[in-house]
Amino acid sequence: MRSSHTAWRMSACRDRVVADRVWATRHARAVAVLVAAVLVATVSTARAGGVNVTIGSVLATDGEKPEFDSRLIAMKPQFDSLFRYSCYRLVKQERRLLDWGQGASFDIPGGRYLVIAPKELRDAKVSMQVMLLEGGRPLVDTAVALRDHGVLLVGGPKQQEGVLIIAISADTE
């Protein structure tokens, strides 16, 4: 009798954990959409046209044999000068054309979301609001000015056996 009661309690706990994960995922997506809407309402528009925003998620690890993803070769000098890992692998990349003042949410591995809202182009720099969310709470919320056609590398959270590096690039049309 006791073992069936214990099994029932364990089953109820598992069901609760699954329900909590589903709720947290839905909640995080709703928060990301809300944050994007708020960012859109608060940023100023700069000029007609738009900006191509590319978000790359790179897994950096230490392996026995150095390895560098060929899709990242143009950024190799930046990786080498900023980080000390032996292996870099692009695990996800997404590119979108955004209007000035338009916010967008990008899924990042590990259940995170990156919300980007380009504000304006001034002095050949794209200024944008950047927010990284995990489970509905902001981990990073900052304004950046990125050289047009430039790339910003952000050393991020632990991921699997390494660290996730987020590459943010902006190209005006």
* Count: domains in the chain: 1
H-run or E-run covering 5: helix 2-42
Q: Which pLDDT belongs to residue 30?
A: 43
- For residue 41, give Cα distances in angstroms to 28, 44, 103, 119, 131: 20, 8, 9, 11, 15
- pLDDT confidence tier of residue 163, bands split at 50, 70 and 90: very high
Q: Which pLDDT belongs to residue 48?
A: 58
pLDDT of 61 > 60? The answer is yes
Around Cβ 171, how many Cβ atoms within 10 Å?
17
Average pLDDT, the chain: 79
∠ CA 24-30-36, nearest 5°, is: 135
Domain around 36: 5-172
pLDDT of 19 > 80? The answer is no
Task: Name the nearest CA neighbour of 56 among 153, 160, 123, 172.
Answer: 153
Q: Minimum mean pLDDT among 52-56, 126-130, 152-156: which range? A: 152-156
Separation between Cα atoms, residue 49 and residue 130, nearest integer Å? 20
Q: Minimum mean pLDDT among 17-21, 62-66, 100-104, 129-133: which range? A: 17-21
Q: Minimum mean pLDDT among 38-42, 89-93, 166-170: which range? A: 38-42
Q: Which long-range contacts link 69-72 to residues 24+ away (Cβ below 8 Å)? A: 72/167
Q: Across residues 112-127, what is the average pLDDT?
A: 95
Q: Across residues 4-15, what is the average pLDDT?
A: 45
* Amino acid in position 143: A
Q: Which pLDDT belongs to residue 158?
A: 79
- If phi > 0 it is left, if psi is from -120 to 50 it is alpha, else beta; for residue 100 that is beta
Q: Which pLDDT belongs to residue 161?
A: 84
Backbone angles phi, psi at 163, to 5 degrees: -130, 145
**Is the sign of the CA dihedral 23, 115, 140, 55 positive or negative?**
positive
Separation between Cα atoms, residue 97 and residue 122, nearest integer Å? 18
pLDDT of 138 > 80? The answer is yes
